[in-house]
């Protein structure tokens, strides 16, 4: 696999996935714009992630059935329409609907990941997936920084107009630079969707990885969906641009993905999952004890992003080694679970903030990680010989 192709895929994944996370530093500004409460505004990131999970369920399996480059370009074009709808939303309810549509159409990273895994040789799969995941995770984190600054300077609507322009340019680049693929299946769409249930039933590693990933990303989302509310209050009194700056801090953790991928290639990817869950748990303990001190937030963000990134890369290395002909469908099951967990985490995070403030957010994160650990250790005795 050419190095240039890997980097094109990584950049595409990063720019595309950013659409889901632009809203997080802007939630307070959106609430003031529509005179909406924290609980109502909290549904914006939740519905975006619900839409993302739904889009993955409906469209990502098509990666095993149709030519992937054309499918990727088509989904990017529909994303442009959804972003424009968010930019002109006249009410909080229209913005919520547009946010859900952005989630549904922004599935390109989940088409690119199995595409990259399929093109890579088995001995370099962890490294290639790790590189693409670095692009994806850096896109997630920088999205908050960029949207925070643009939102503070030009207003939150400008963020969506600029994003629509970026995706338009990206669509042309994808058509010109990515290779064509050969579909691995000849099935009806209905049969294709039925095969997802068979994969869930027959693959215990997939079930375990999916639940662990869902809980890990749920804890991650609970933090990022509520950080802007913490920073607005004493002792910080910061605006959206500072909330976005924490995305830059998280890049330190995200750049570890290729290293984690190489370690997963050489050792057991399941081992790196256990280490990553420990790192994420440590992050929430730091948030709980020192979250009202700036250094505590910085250290916690680095640890949380390192842990969440490592869980994702390690689990994907595990599932992609199961059935090479079903990589898009394996990725569908895993990532639908992953972002369903993220939606639950965002919802519980904003609800716990309204009830118990920062203590409630930290409690939600730790409880979700406890479930992940229980799944990890519960599967250990049954899967000693599995990836």
Q: What pLDDT, on a 0 to 100 scale, did the predictor assign at position 380? A: 52
* pLDDT in 10s for each residue of the chain, 387 residues: 678 888 888 999 999 999 998 998 898 889 899 988 877 888 898 899 889 889 988 888 888 788 889 999 999 999 999 999 999 999 999 999 999 999 999 999 988 988 887 787 777 777 787 788 778 878 877 888 889 889 989 999 999 999 999 999 999 888 888 888 777 667 788 888 888 888 999 999 999 999 999 999 999 999 988 998 899 888 888 876 777 778 777 777 666 656 766 666 666 778 889 989 999 999 999 999 999 999 999 999 989 988 988 898 888 888 877 887 777 788 889 988 998 898 899 889 989 998 899 999 999 999 999 999 999 998 654 444 444
C-alpha torsion sign, points 59, 63, 65, 67: positive
Q: What pLDDT, on a 0 to 100 scale, did the predictor assign at position 386? A: 45
CA quadruple 111, 11, 339, 152: dihedral, nearest 10: -140
Residue 255 host element (H or E): none
**Token pair of 162, please?**
């600029």
Distance between CA atoms of residues 313 and 318, nearest Å: 9
Domain 3-380: assigned CATH number: 1.20.1250.20
Q: What pLDDT, on a 0 to 100 scale, did the predictor assign at position 81? A: 96
Q: What pLDDT, on a 0 to 100 scale, did the predictor assign at position 382? A: 46
Exposed, middle or buried: residue 186 (CB in 10 Å: 0-12, 13-18, 19+)?
A: exposed
Return the SS3 of 203. Answer: coil
**Token pair of 344, please?**
């639950």
Q: What pLDDT, on a 0 to 100 scale, did the predictor assign at position 385? A: 40
Half-sphere exposure of 287 (CA within 13 A, CB side): 30
Structure pTM? 0.76
Region for residue 357 given its phi and psi (left: phi exceeds 0; alpha: psi -120 to 50; beta: otherwise): left
Q: What pLDDT, on a 0 to 100 scale, did the predictor assign at position 260? A: 67
Distance between CA atoms of residues 63 and 72, nearest Å: 9
Cβ neighbours for 223, distance < 8 A, ≥ 6 positions apart: 284, 287, 304, 349, 361, 365
Q: What pLDDT, on a 0 to 100 scale, did the predictor assign at position 228? A: 84
Q: What pLDDT, on a 0 to 100 scale, did the predictor assign at position 248? A: 77
In the chain, domain spans: 3-380
């Amino acid at each position: 696999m050419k190095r240039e192709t890997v980097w094109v895929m990584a950049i595409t994944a990063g720019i595309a996935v950013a659409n889901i996370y632009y809203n997080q530093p802007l939630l307070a500004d959106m609430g003031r714009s529509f005179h909406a409460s924290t609980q109502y505004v909290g549904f914006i990131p939740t519905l975006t992630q619900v839409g993302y999970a739904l889009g993955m369920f409906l469209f990502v399996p098509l990666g095993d059935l149709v030519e992937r480059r054309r499918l990727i370009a088509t989904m990017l074009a529909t994303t442009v329409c959804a972003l424009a709808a968010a930019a002109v939303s006249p009410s909080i309810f229209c913005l919520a609907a547009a946010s859900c549509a952005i989630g549904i159409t922004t599935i390109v990273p989940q088409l690119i990941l199995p595409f990259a895994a399929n093109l890579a040789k088995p001995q370099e799969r962890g490294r290639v997936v790790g590189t693409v995941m670095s692009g994806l995770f850096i896109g997630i984190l920088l999205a908050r920084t960029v949207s925070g600054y643009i939102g503070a300077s030009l207003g939150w609507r400008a963020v969506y107009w600029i994003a629509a322009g970026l995706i338009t340019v990206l669509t042309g680049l994808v058509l010109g630079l990515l290779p064509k693929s050969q579909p691995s299946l000849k099935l009806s769409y209905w049969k294709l969707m039925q095969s997802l249930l068979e994969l869930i039933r027959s693959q215990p590693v997939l079930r375990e990885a999916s639940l662990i990933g869902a809980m890990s990303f749920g804890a991650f989302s609970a933090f990022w969906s509520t950080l802007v509310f913490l920073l607005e209050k004493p002792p910080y009194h910061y605006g959206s641009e500072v909330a976005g700056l924490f995305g830059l801090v998280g890049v330190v953790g995200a750049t570890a993905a290729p290293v984690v991928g190489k370690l997963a290639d050489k050792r057991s990817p399941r081992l790196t999952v256990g280490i990553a869950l420990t790192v994420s748990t440590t992050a929430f303990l730091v948030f709980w004890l020192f979250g009202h001190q700036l250094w505590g937030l910085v250290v916690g963000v680095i640890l949380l992003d390192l842990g969440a990134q490592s869980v994702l890369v390690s689990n994907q290395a595990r599932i992609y080694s199961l059935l090479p002909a079903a990589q898009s469908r394996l990725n569908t099951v895993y990532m639908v679970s992953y972002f369903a967990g993220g939606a639950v985490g965002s919802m519980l995070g904003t609800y716990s903030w309204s009830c118990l403030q920062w203590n409630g957010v930290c409690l939600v994160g730790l409880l979700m990680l406890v479930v992940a650990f229980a799944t990890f250790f519960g599967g250990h005795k049954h899967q000693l010989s599995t990836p």
